[in-house]
Structure 1
Amino acid sequence: MIDWSIESVTFGNCNCDYNCPCQFELRPTQGNCRGFEVGRIEHGHFDDISLDGLRWALLYAWPGAIFEGNGTMQAIIDERADERQRQALITVLHGGETEEAKTHWWVFHAMSSTVHEPLFKPIDVEIDIESRTARVSIPGVLVSSGQPIISPATGEEHRVRIDIPAGIEFEIAEIGSASAKATGAIELDLNDSYGQFNVIRHSGTGVVHTRV
Structure 2
Amino acid sequence: MIDWYVEGESFSNCNCAYGCPCQFEDLPTHGHCRGFEALRIDRGHFGDTRLDGLKVALLYAWPGPVFEGGGELQAVIDARAEPDQRAALEQVLQGGETEEAATHWWVYRTMSDTLHPTLYLPIEIDLDIAARRAHVTIPGVIDGTGRPIKPPHSDGEHRVRIQIPGGIEFETAEIGSASTRSGPDSAIALDLSDSYGQFNQLRHSGRGVVHG
Count of matched residue pairs? 210
Aligned-residue offset at 1:151: 1.1
Distance in 2, matches of 1:197 and 1:124, equals: 16
For residue 49 of structure 1, what is the aligned residue in structure 2? 49
Distance in 2, matches of 1:185 and 1:97, equals: 25
Q: Which runs of 4+ in 1 moved over 4 A?
A: none
Distance in 2, matches of 1:41 and 1:209, equals: 17
Give the share of equivalent positions with the same residue, in percent.
62
Of residues 174, 177, 198, the one that matches 1:196 is 198
Report the AA paired with residue 121 of structure 1. Answer: L
Aligned-residue offset at 1:181: 0.4
Q: Secondary structure at the match of 1:149?
A: coil
Q: Secondary structure at the match of 1:7?
A: strand
Corresponding position: 1:5 with 2:17: no
Deviations for 1:166-199, whole angstroms, at most 9, x for unmatched residues? 0000000000000000132100000000000001
Aligned-residue offset at 1:39: 0.6
Distance in 2, matches of 1:125 and 1:209, equals: 24
Aligned-residue offset at 1:155: 1.4
Deviations for 1:92-128, whole angstroms, at most 9, x for unmatched residues? 1000000000000000000000001100000011110
For residue 30 of structure 1, what is the aligned residue in structure 2? 30
Give me the CA root mean square deviation: 0.5
Residues 78-93 of structure 1: pairs in structure 2 closer than 5 A: 78-93=78-93
Residues 155-170 of structure 1: pairs in structure 2 closer than 5 A: 155-170=155-170
Distance in 1, matches of 2:97 and 2:201, equals: 21
Of residues 199, 206, 209, the one that matches 1:207 is 209
TM-score, normalisation: structure 2? 0.98
For residue 145 of structure 2, what is the aligned residue in structure 1? 145
For residue 185 of structure 1, what is the aligned residue in structure 2? 187
Unpaired runs of 5+ residues, structure 1, are none
Distance in 1, matches of 2:157 and 2:96, equals: 39
Report the AA paired with residue 60 of structure 1. Answer: Y
For residue 64 of structure 1, what is the aligned residue in structure 2? 64
